[in-house]
Amino acid sequence: MDVITSVHQMKVFSARARAMNKKIAFVPTMGFLHEGHLSLMREGKRRGDILVLSIFVNPTQFSPSEDFEKYPRDFARDSRMAEGVGVDVLFAPEAREIYPPDHQTFIRVTEVTRGLCGKSRPTHFQGVATVVAMLFNIVMPHVALFGEKDFQQLVTIQQMVKDLHMDTEVLGMPIIREGDGLAMSSRNTYLKPDERKAALSLHRSLKRAEELILQGEQRVASIIEEVKKMLQSESLLRMDYIHICGPRTLQEIERIDGDAVVALAVYVGKVRLIDNFVYRAPRK
Ligand code: AMP
C-alpha cells in the first residue's frame, strides 16, 4: 500500500491510473476505522481496479463548539486495517495543503441540507460538500462509496455530483452495526458504559418504526409519536430530531406511500449519535 500525503502526488498517481484505463474506486473517511468503513472498502475493491482510501479529519465540517480537536485519531492502526483489506493508496493530506491560508471557495447544496442534521449543524454539509468535491478533483475516482449511516451526507453528495455534472458514480452502502444493533461510529468510543447501553434505544426505536410500517401504519405522526415515546423513556437520551422523509428530497412527508427514511439524532450525554432506517416500498 502506498501512503500519499501530497495533493500533487495523488493527482499524478490518479492521472497515470486513468491513462492505463484503470477504474479508481474511492472511500473518503475521517479515519479511526471500523467495520463500517471496511465494508465500503471491500465493496470498493470489488468495484474498481485501484482502491484509494482517504483519511482526513476535515476542519470545515466541525463548528467551533464541536469535537474537531478531540476527534479520535490512530493512523498506525488505520494503516494496518487499510492494508488488510487491500487498499492500494492511502491518501492522508495535511489540513494546510487542503485549505491553504487564502482558501475561500465553498460548495453549498441548498435544499437537502436544510432539515435533519442541517438544522442543528448549519455549516456542516457545506464543509462536507466542499471537501468531497476537492477530494474528487484530486483522486479523480470513477466510483465513490459512502455509508447510509450518514444518510443526509450521502444524499447531499449525490445531489452535488448531479448538479455540478461531476463524473463520479456515488454509491450508498448499508449501515454496519455492532452485534447488539448499535450503528458503528468512530464517535462510539466517547460513550461511557451506561451511555453505550442507553444508545441501544436508537436502533430499538427504529426497529419499532419498521415494525409499524410493515404492519401497514401509514400515518407518519403516529409512528413518530411511538418512536419519541421509546426514546424519551431512556433518561440518558436527549432527542435532537426524529423525521420521516422522502429518501431523495429529504422533505418531510405525512403518509408513508412509497420509499421513506426514518432518521433520528440523539444526544447521549455529550455525544451526538445519528441512525436511520430506509423503508423500501414493494415495487408495484
Ligand atoms: P466518517 O469517517 O465517519 O466520515 O465515515 C466515512 C464513511 O464511512 C462515510 O461514508 C460514512 O457514512 C461511512 N460509515 C460510517 N459508519 C458507518 C457504518 N456504521 N456503516 C456503514 N458505513 C459507515
Assess whether the C-beta atom of 185 lies below 6 angstroms from ligand 1: yes
pLDDT tens series, the chain, 284 aa? 999 999 999 999 999 999 999 999 999 999 999 999 999 999 999 999 999 999 999 999 999 999 999 999 999 999 999 999 999 999 999 999 999 999 999 999 999 999 999 999 999 999 999 999 999 999 999 999 999 999 999 999 999 999 999 999 999 999 999 999 999 999 999 999 999 999 999 999 999 999 999 999 999 999 999 999 999 999 999 999 999 999 999 999 999 999 999 999 999 999 999 999 999 999 87
Query: Model pTM greater than 0.85?
Result: yes
- How far is residue 246's CA from residue 58's CA, in Å, rounded to a whole number? 28
- List the one residue out of 109, 116, 147 whose CA is nearest residue 131: 109
- How far is residue 126's CA from residue 193's CA, in Å, rounded to a whole number? 34
Cβ pair 35, 178 in contact under 8 A: no
Cβ pair 82, 153 in contact under 8 A: no
Kindly give the distance from the C-alpha atom of residue 149 to the centroid of ligand 1, in angstroms, as a whole number: 6
Catalytic pick among 37, 124, 142, 243: 37
Cell numbers 475516482 correspond to 141
Assess whether the C-beta atom of 208 lies below 6 angstroms from ligand 1: no
Cell numbers for 40? 465500503
Cβ pair 47, 23 in contact under 8 A: yes
Atom of ligand 1 nearest to the CA of 32: 2
Kindly give the distance from the C-alpha atom of residue 222 to the centroid of ligand 1, in angstroms, as a whole number: 30
Cβ pair 242, 228 in contact under 8 A: yes
Kindly give the distance from the C-alpha atom of residue 216 to the centroid of ligand 1, in angstroms, as a whole number: 31
Assess whether the C-beta atom of 146 lies below 6 angstroms from ligand 1: yes
